[in-house]
Amino acid sequence: MIIHIDMDAFFASIEQAINPRLIGKPLVVGSRGSKMHTVVCAASYAAKRLGIHSGMSSRDAFKICPNLEFVRADQSKYIWTSSQIFKLLENFNLPLNYASIDEFQLDLPDSQNPVSLGKEIKQQIYSNFKITASVGIAKTWLLAKLASKIDKPDGLTLINDDNFKEILSKTALNKLCGMGGKNGQILMDQGLKTCWDLYLKLPGFFDNCGKFRETSGNSDEAIQKPKSMSHSYTLPMAQINPQVIFAWIRVLSEMVSGRLRQDNLVSATVHLWLNGPQIGNFGAQKTYLEATSDGYQIYLRTLKIMEKSRLKSPRIRAIGVTCSSLSQPSYNPLFSEEIRREELIKALDRINGKFGESTIFPAITILTR
Q: In angstroms, what is the minimal distance from the CB of 99 to Mg ion?
A: 10
Closest to Mg ion by CB, 102 vs 254, is 102
**Residues that bind Mg ion in the complex, under the rule CB under 5 A:** 6-7, 102
Q: In angstroms, what is the minimal distance from the CB of 312 to Mg ion?
A: 49
Closest to Mg ion by CB, 7 vs 108, is 7
**Is 36 buried (19+), middle (13-18) or exposed (0-12) by CB count in 10 A?**
exposed
Q: How far is CA 24 from CA 104, 150, 154, 257, in A?
A: 25, 21, 14, 43
Element (DSSP H or E) covering residue 267? strand 266-276
Q: What is the 3-state secondary structure (H, E, C) of 300-368?
A: HHHHHHHHHHCCCCCCEEEEEEEEEEEECCCCCCCCHHHHHHHHHHHHHHHHHHHHCCCCCCCHHHHHH
Closest to Mg ion by CB, 135 vs 195, is 135
Q: In angstroms, what is the minimal distance from the CB of 190 to Mg ion?
A: 30
Q: In angstroms, what is the minimal distance from the CB of 227 to Mg ion?
A: 34
Q: CA neighbours within 13 Å on the CB side: how many for 103?
A: 17
Give helix 75-90 / helix 114-129 axis angle, nearest 10°. Answer: 140
Q: In angstroms, what is the minimal distance from the CB of 136 to Mg ion?
A: 11
Closest CA to 319 of 285, 251, 365, 273: 273
Q: In angstroms, what is the minimal distance from the CB of 71 to Mg ion?
A: 17
Task: Tell me which residues are annotated as active site.
Answer: 103
- Beta-carbon count within 10 A of 38 CB: 23
Strand 133-138 to strand 2-7: parallel, antiparallel, or no bridges (unpaired)?
antiparallel
Closest to Mg ion by CB, 39 vs 247, is 39
Helices and strands, number each (H, E), in the chain: 14, 12
**d(Cα 366, Cα 351) in Å, to the nearest integer?**
18
Q: In angstroms, what is the minimal distance from the CB of 176 to Mg ion?
A: 16
Element (DSSP H or E) covering residue 30? strand 27-30
Residues 6+ apart with CB under 8 A from 80: 289
Q: Which amino acid is residue 161, in one-letter code?
A: D
Closest to Mg ion by CB, 10 vs 246, is 10
**d(Cα 299, Cα 250) in Å, to the nearest integer?**
5
Closest to Mg ion by CB, 7 vs 125, is 7
Closest to Mg ion by CB, 177 vs 300, is 177
**d(Cα 173, Cα 185) in Å, to the nearest integer?**
9
- Please, what's the b/e burial string for 67-104 (b: 16 or more CB within 10 A of its CB; e: otherwise)? ebbbbebebeebbebbeebbeebeebebbbbbbebbbb
